[in-house]
A = this chain, B = another copy of it.
Amino acid sequence: MPVSFTLAEIASRLGGRVVGNPEALIRQVGSLEHAGPDQITFFSHLRHKGKLAATRAGAVVLGDSAQGLTAIPRIVCDNPYAYFARVSQLFNPVSAPEPGRDPLAQISASARVAVTARIDAGAIVADGARVGERVWVGAGSYVGQGSSIGDDSRLHPSVVVYHDCRIGLRAIIHSGAVIGADGFGIAESVGRWIKIPQIGRVLIGDDVEIGANTTIDRGAIDDTVVEDGVKLDNQVQIGHNVRVGAHTAIAGCVGIAGSASIGQHCTIGGAAVILGHLELVDGVNVSAGTLISRSIHQPGTYTGVFPFDRNASWARNAALLRHLSELADRVRALEELLRRKDKNG
């Protein structure tokens, strides 16, 4: 059922100051480029000034310094992007799933499933598992033996949760995510790899989102821990015994090796790699594509990426890079030569 709000109604719910017609009626959010007269958009970067000037949106959310850049009805607020997120939630509410158990689902007699939960076709809830209130277990998803899914969580189709894991409240887990598979625990012995049984669990806090095809391994002995409010994008790999601190956000394709500890309020850019057994304090930002090879004890932004170039230029510079120590030696020799000349001359 579509919803509609006037600007005044939006501001009365979410705060902010209306400039222009407070009765402008809004039915949905839209982008600067494509929003129509019954849609509200947002403006948060000066580089989009041209788009703001051209927008056909019915209203716009923007910051105080930008409010003079347009004449259309607007809501002025401190954090336009976050405000817009809340506006979009207003127009796109998530409703609880319709309770029920599909006849093609398989629910163990020893599992405890709330009557308000919905279990879709092909889903499995194994022995001793617990599924909370208003949880949605999507088609073909699997909740392993003894695992629990907190209230209001949503497992999209084809999620796998192995045995003895705990998912907190309001989780959103996207398709293909695998929670609790064995960590990569192997020990070498005379040229053979011996498997170390992975007997820890995965413990996931409240309000965590896990992207499609992301994997979070169970602990080797102790547990792997993802704290409250963590957001993981797609195809992230979290090794065994990792700790991800509360309210940290990790972009797509990131790999975090075993026993690394990531602080709270960190951001890890796409395809970054954190090696094992490292510790990153709270408030660290790792740039996309960066490999972190030592612990980081100070907040801040850290980067390590080879700057791309036209192939020919890159090849020339890369070849020299392999001989950088010789170049440094030659500079040192020149300095030495001139020092001697100075002395002698």
Whether a CB of chain B sits under 8 angstroms from the CB of A247 is yes
- Shortest Cβ distance from residue A242 to the other chain B in the assembled complex, whole angstroms: 11
The complex places the Cα of A318 from the Cα of B294 at a distance, in Å, of: 14
Q: Do A314 and B320 contact each other (CB < 8 Å), given the known contacts A139-B124, A181-B234?
A: no
Contacts of A233 in B (CB 8 A): 184, 237
The complex places the Cα of A192 from the Cα of B182 at a distance, in Å, of: 31
Contacts of A29 in B (CB 8 A): 199, 221
Q: Do A247 and B140 contact each other (CB < 8 Å), given the known contacts A182-B174, A288-B291, A307-B293?
A: no
The complex places the Cα of A309 from the Cα of B315 at a distance, in Å, of: 15
Q: Do A307 and B304 contact each other (CB < 8 Å), given the known contacts A140-B158, A334-B334?
A: yes
Nearest chain B residue, comparing its CB with the CB of A142: B157
Q: How large is the interface on A (under 10, 10 to 19, 20 to 34, 35 or more residues)?
A: 35 or more
- Please determine whether B181 and A156 come into contact, CB atoms closer than 8 angstroms: yes
Most buried by B among A122, A195, A234: A234
Contacts of A289 in B (CB 8 A): 273, 291
Contacts of A193 in B (CB 8 A): 229, 231, 247, 249
Contacts of A323 in B (CB 8 A): 317
- Shortest Cβ distance from residue A334 to the other chain B in the assembled complex, whole angstroms: 6
Q: Mark A200-223, 1 if CB is under 8 A from B, else 0.
A: 000000000101110101000110
- Please determine whether A84 and B196 come into contact, CB atoms closer than 8 angstroms: yes
Among B30, B81, B84, B160, point to the contact of A158 (Cβ < 8 A): B160
- Please determine whether A184 and B234 come into contact, CB atoms closer than 8 angstroms: yes
- Shortest Cβ distance from residue A15 to the other chain B in the assembled complex, whole angstroms: 11
User: Which residues in chain A, 117-169, are within 8 Å of chain B measured between CB atoms?
Assistant: 120-122, 124, 138-140, 142, 144, 156-158, 160, 162
- Please determine whether A316 and B308 come into contact, CB atoms closer than 8 angstroms: no
- Please determine whether B195 and A85 come into contact, CB atoms closer than 8 angstroms: yes
Nearest chain B residue, comparing its CB with the CB of A158: B160
Contacts of A330 in B (CB 8 A): 331, 335
- Shortest Cβ distance from residue A183 to the other chain B in the assembled complex, whole angstroms: 9
Q: Do A305 and B288 contact each other (CB < 8 Å), given the known contacts A162-B175, A213-B178, A215-B176?
A: no
The 10 closest A-B pairs by CB, nearest first: A304-B308, A82-B189, A92-B197, A181-B212, A289-B291, A160-B175, A178-B212, A301-B311, A184-B233, A85-B187
14 contacts between A and B (CB under 8 A): A89-B196, A89-B197, A138-B142, A158-B178, A186-B231, A211-B215, A233-B237, A235-B235, A239-B252, A302-B308, A306-B321, A309-B322, A317-B325, A320-B325
Which A residues have a C-beta under 8 Å from some C-beta of B?
A: 28-31, 33-34, 79, 81-82, 84-86, 88-89, 91-92, 94, 102, 104, 106, 120-122, 124, 138-140, 142, 144, 156-158, 160, 162, 172, 174-176, 178, 181-182, 184-189, 191-197, 199, 209, 211-213, 215, 217, 221-222, 229, 231, 233-235, 237, 239, 247, 249, 251-253, 255, 257, 265, 270-271, 273, 275, 286-293, 300-311, 313-325, 327-328, 330-331, 334-335, 337-338
